[in-house]
Chain A
């Protein structure tokens, strides 16, 4: 069975700080990997996705993620966060089906 874990429940950063959110999954086969963002009161939106090829993928709003197959990880990064990045972030994996992690709430202080 697939599962997804996210390292942090809640992360608090000041503006301009660097961000890294951890995501690990368990599944033995080929996977497609996603990060979604949910701004307060809104639905989930796709940040970036990895299907194959270059393991470093770039998404919208300056986010990027690196797929490390040997570690079953797909960590999300941003070099300098803004107050508007305050949101909940979900890692998701598609192996047999879509499975989401529990989410990480990011609070960026102005």
Chain B
């Protein structure tokens, strides 16, 4: 069965303290790996899509990387407004299929 595991479940950082979130997956023939951000009471907000091992994408303080079995979301010098739950999802091959989500990492950044 295809699985997506995110770690840690929760992460507390001080403002400016860089760290990484992990997403490991067992899907074969990955079509894409997605990162979403979810704020309390809102729907997931799209951040990045990665398609092949070695690919990297950046947006402000966030950088996502992909290997054959896992992805990392690196957060550089985080600010309190980066506090949210970060969800990883994989899309199996076949096109147009639904995403398989991990349970997320809840990030809290204090000033």
Asked if A pairs with B, the answer is no
* A residues whose Cβ falls under 8 Å from a Cβ of B: none
